[in-house]
Amino acid sequence: MAPSHALRCCKRALNWIPVLFINLVVGWSYYAYVVELCVYTIPNNTERISYLVLFHIFFTMFIWSYWKTIWSKPESPSKTFCLPRAEKELFEREERAETQQEILKKVAKNLPVYTRTAGGAVRYCDHCQVIKPDRCHHCSTCEMCVLKMDHHCPWVNNCVGFSNYKYFVLFLTYAALYCVVICATVIQYFLKFWTKVLPDTHAKFHVLFLFFVAALFFVSVLSLLGYHLWLVGKNRTTIEAFRAPVFANGPDKNGFSLGFKRNAAEVFGDQGKYWMFPVSSNLGDGHSFVTRLVHIDPERANGILQQNGKSPADGKPDPCVHGNNIQYTADDSKENIEGGQIDSVKVENEQ
């Protein structure tokens, strides 16, 4: 039985508890640093002002990226990945799984879909009634399919995926730097309070506790940040790190890796001036992705690189920009193979 509307509302309200906790901790850290440390403890005006300026720079970037991660709505597959009306009626009437798969394969031939289930079947979401694009997964918490889903994060009460993965990485980066700034500027007063060089005041508790909390959060955030930077370099999601994507010829954990530079560009964009700001600059549309020259679906292009399911049709070599705006040199020549034709695509090796 489906849960009642009241239970759903309660569940959604409870999901905001971790976010509320983080915001309360950050709010207290702001008070402890600005009021208790800078106003009541630091005697020198020059030091006080310099600390406040430095603190507010990283505090602003941290909050900006954090709230962008929270409020960026996860993107779901477009209607293109829904079954056409005729095929949908056939699919719903059919009881045999084998015949249903034949229907899905027929529709998937016209879509830039190259990954399969572990059993080799077309990935289809019964709940959302869509053929899942590559790297798309269904989130049971958000109750929707999420493009390039990485994971559902309770600390932001949101799915981390194509629409906000850059913001999430920046959130972790600025959270770590925020903690570093606090620890580096508080430590001298922490030691003075600890060794009783400074008298016991109401600021003592806040300064001591602020240092401990910042150091603790730094260690935990740094490990998570390091892991996700590694994922960016490998062009993997958390899901793919634990379960390699399956192509027609089998699983390939490096199936979407194009080299460090191109992998980073997919997340942060190809213009470095936007990398450190939580603004949209990632490449592509989240529905299709360039893959390596391995494990390509033989039904579409035997041994040929997928390039977002698109290639020029004029038969001339042409520098083309695909769905993720990464430039390649493509040669769209027609070759007869076993009585059929395929599109031949060549990609220059990254230097």
Active site residue 142: no
The H-assigned helical ranges of 110-259 are: 165-194, 202-234, 238-242
DSSP-assigned beta bridge partners for residue 160: 151
DSSP-assigned beta bridge partners for residue 272: none
How do the residues of the chain divide into helix, strand and coil, expressed in percent and rounded to 5? Answer: 45, 10, 40
Please state, in angstroms and rounded to a whole number, the distance separating the CA atoms of residues 69 and 153: 10
Q: What three-state secondary structure class fits 342?
A: strand
Element spanning 263, H or E:
helix 260-268
Q: Are 288 and 134 spatial neighbours (Cβ–Cβ below 8 Å)?
A: yes
Is the sign of the CA dihedral 335, 340, 345, 346 positive or negative? negative
Q: 190-198 long-range CB contacts below 8 Å, 24 or more apart?
A: 198/41
Nearest partner of 78 among 142, 145, 163, judged by Cα:
145
Q: Which of 136, 139, 153, 159 is catalytic?
A: 153
Q: Are 150 and 160 spatial neighbours (Cβ–Cβ below 8 Å)?
A: yes
Eight-state DSSP code of residue 317? -
Q: Are 237 and 135 spatial neighbours (Cβ–Cβ below 8 Å)?
A: yes
Element spanning 333, H or E:
strand 333-337
Please state, in angstroms and rounded to a whole number, the distance separating the CA atoms of residues 103 and 94: 10
Q: Annotated catalytic sites, by residue? A: 153
